[in-house]
Structure 1
Amino acid sequence: MDEQETVRLTAWARGRVQGVGFRWWVRARALELGLVGSASNLRDGRVEVIAEGPRPSCEKLLELLRGSGTPGHVTGVAERWSEPRGGLYGFVEQ
């Protein structure tokens, strides 16, 4: 595995994750890890997280999403790994 490999992580967090500061928290963690992307509320109550950057940083973000330190209450996180698409700047809440 190439530690410097750039990847795209798409994760969907479910549980009580809207209206509790979850997207703001995700943005702060992602910026600390040097990732670019977004955190968006979905109509079904989940939050979609898109992050691009070095694989170890994306894996750490996924670990944090599944940890006990998140705002609200995460009951599960689905993930999809893919090639980076680029064109992302900063980390935004949508």
Structure 2
Amino acid sequence: MTDRTRAHVYVSGKVQGVYFRATTRDRAREVGVDGWVRNLGDGRVEAVFEGSEDAVAQLVEFCHEGSDAARVDDVEVTYEDPQGEGGFSVRW
């Protein structure tokens, strides 16, 4: 899988308590992206997306919009070498 990539994302705004994590999980499973998403103590959401470049790009783009009730103020993305994530989960 030569075009596999990994994006480490931090999303700021009104992104907790608005189904952001569940919607991200559902979207990731739809496009075949592995990784995880979790709330941080400072109010941000952190996520890791691993998969094809196109699918990961779709998830990063989704993070700029978020769930219907979310208000995204900022998205920080760092691209890294894949680490072999399997499946997609919501972490606590």
AA in 2 matched with 1:77: V
Structure 2 unmatched ranges of 5 or more? none
Partner in structure 2 of residue 57 of structure 1:
55
Q: Deviations over 1:9-49 (max 9, x none)?
A: 11101001111110000001111110010001111110001
Letter in 2 for 1:14: S
Tell me what 2:46 maps to.
48
Aligned-partner residue type, residue 82 of structure 1: E
Normalised to the residue count of structure 2, the TM-score between the two structures is: 0.90
Query: Which of structure 1's runs of 4+ aligned residues deviate more than 2 A?
Result: 67-71
**Does the 8 Å CA contact 1:25/1:70 hold for their aligned counterparts?**
no
Gapped runs of 5+ residues in structure 1? Answer: none
Aligned counterpart, 2:69: 71
Number of residues paired by the alignment? Answer: 90
Matched, 1:90 2:87: yes
For residues 45-68 of structure 1, the C-alpha deviation after alignment (integer angstroms, 9 at most, x for no partner) is 100010100011111111111136
